[in-house]
Structures are given as C-alpha cells and as structure tokens.
Homo-oligomer: A and B are copies of this chain.
C-alpha cells in the first residue's frame, strides 16, 4: 500500500476487491521476486541484488522499503564497519508464500509453453 498521501486525487477508490488490495501491496515490479528469494531465509542486500538480475540498487532499495512499510519485510541493520543489512520476511510476509509459489509454478509452466526446455532455479 504505502499511501501516497493522496495529494489531490484518490489513488484508488476504497478498492472494492480484495484482489486489488493484494496488487497494491505486492504489485511492484520486483516485490514478488524479492519475497520469493526471502522465502529461502534472510538475505543481505547485495545477496538479493545478485539473485535479481536487472534490478537496480535504487529500485531494490525502494521496493524493499515499501515492503517494510507494509509490514511484510523486516530490515535488520548490523552496525559494522562494512555495513551489513539483512532482510527477512515478517510473519505477515510469510503468509504470501502460497501466492508467490503459485506464481513461480505458473511462470515456469508458461515458459515451457513454447520453450520446450523446462528449467527451474531451486536455490537454497
């Protein structure tokens, strides 16, 4: 969600459909993927970035912050000399697992559709 402070117009009418609510929360371009990788356990920022080819530092930061603001992701800062930040799913964030797993399965099947060389990326 991360309310845009509604400057003058409603971002969306009191969205009637729960599906819309979900889209608002995990609809970002990289949110679902980030959550997917966090399902494997806590990850450092650079770790996530490496696992998400194509995402820029800026976008990853922004999307993670929104997820944090919506209570799905926890951000743990370790005050060290080379800074270390670990992201992990909150209990609420964990409840997204069914959705993300379904998206993973569907995406894989959709590719096989005409790519006849099915392959997954079962990471740790």
Contact = CB atoms under 8 A, between A and B. Distances in A.
Interface residues of A, number: 40
A33 interface: yes
A92 B32 CA distance: 21
A36 interface: yes
Interface in A8-53: 10, 12-13, 15-23, 25, 27, 29, 32-33, 36, 52-53
Given A99-B99, A102-B102, A29 B32 contact: no
Contact of A110 (B13, B17, B22, B106): B22
A120 interface: yes
Given A22-B107, A106-B22, A106-B99, A17 B36 contact: yes
B100 A19 contact: yes
A84 to B, nearest CB: 24
B18 A107 contact: yes
A104 interface: yes
A111 B20 CA distance: 11
